[in-house]
Amino acid sequence: MMVGSDRITDQAMTAEREMEKKMSIKYCSICGAKMTTRIPEDDDHIRPVCNRCGHVHYDNPKLVVGCIPMLEDQVLLCKRNIEPRKGKWTLPAGYLENGETVEQGAVRETLEETRSHVSIIAPYRMFNLVFVHQIYLMFRARLLDTDFGPTKESTDVQLFSESEIPWDNIAFESIRQTLADFFSDRPGRAYSFEIKQIMPPEKHAGPA
C-alpha cells in the first residue's frame, strides 16, 4: 500500500511537534464544529475535543508489519520508490490495515512491494519507535516463489546473501538491526523474539 509506506517517516517528533499535530485537528470529523485541545473528562491526556458534540479525537501509535523473506542463504530486499529514503534498500513492511491479522499484513505488504508470496514462520523482532509513534513487528518468512520484481513501490527487488547486503544503503535503522540480528542468529538457528528500541536519528548520531 503505497500511501501507507509513504506515511512512514523517521523524523524526530518532539513534544512540541506532537502538540502542533494535535492543534492541526481543527474541525470535528463528526459534526464539523471547531475543536479545542484539552484533557477530556476521566482522561489524563490532552486531546482534541469538539466544542459542540463532545467528540474526542484519539491518535495512537501505528503498527508496521513486515518480514524477512528467506530463500536458502539469501533474503529478499526491495529498493524504495517512495520518499522517505527513496532509492534505499529495505525489507517489505508497511502499516497494518483494519480487517487483517499481523501475519496477513506482513504477507500483503510483501506481495505489494516485491510481487512475491511468503509464508510466515515466526515473529522475530519488535521495535519501539516512540519518536514517530510506530511499533514495528518483523517476522521471519519463507519465500515461496521467485517471481519477484519491481512494483509501484519498489524500483528493484533482489535476493542478497549476507556478504552482498548493501549495509551502507539500508533505508531504516529498524530494518538494518533486523538484518544484522538475523545474520548474527543464523549460524546457531537461535531466532528468539525480542523487543528493542530505536532512538531518534539525532540521539545516536556521532562518529559512526
Site residues, its own copies (CB under 8 A): 1-3, 6-7, 15, 18, 24-32, 35, 40, 42-45, 48, 56-63, 95-103, 123, 126, 128, 130, 133, 135, 152, 193, 195, 197
Torsion of CA 30, 35, 40, 43, to 10 degrees: 80
Shorter beta-carbon distance to its own copies: residue 162 or 173: 173
Burial of 5 (0-12, 13-18, 19+ CB in 10 A): buried
Report the alpha-carbon distance of residue 12 to residue 36 in Å, rounded.
25
| Minimum distance, C-beta of residue 25 to its own copies, in the bound complex (Å) | 5
Q: How far is the CB of 51 from its own copies (least distance, A)?
A: 13
Q: How far is the CB of 159 from its own copies (least distance, A)?
A: 26
Smallest gap from residue 155 Cβ to its own copies (A): 15
**Residues contacting 108, CB < 8 A, separation 6+:** 1, 97, 100
Task: Give 48 or 69: the residue with its C-beta nearer to its own copies.
Answer: 48
Nearer to its own copies, 153 or 175 (CB): 153
Nearer to its own copies, 14 or 146 (CB): 14
Burial class (CB in 10 A: 0-12, 13-18, 19+), 66: buried
Cell of residue 165, nine digits: 547486503
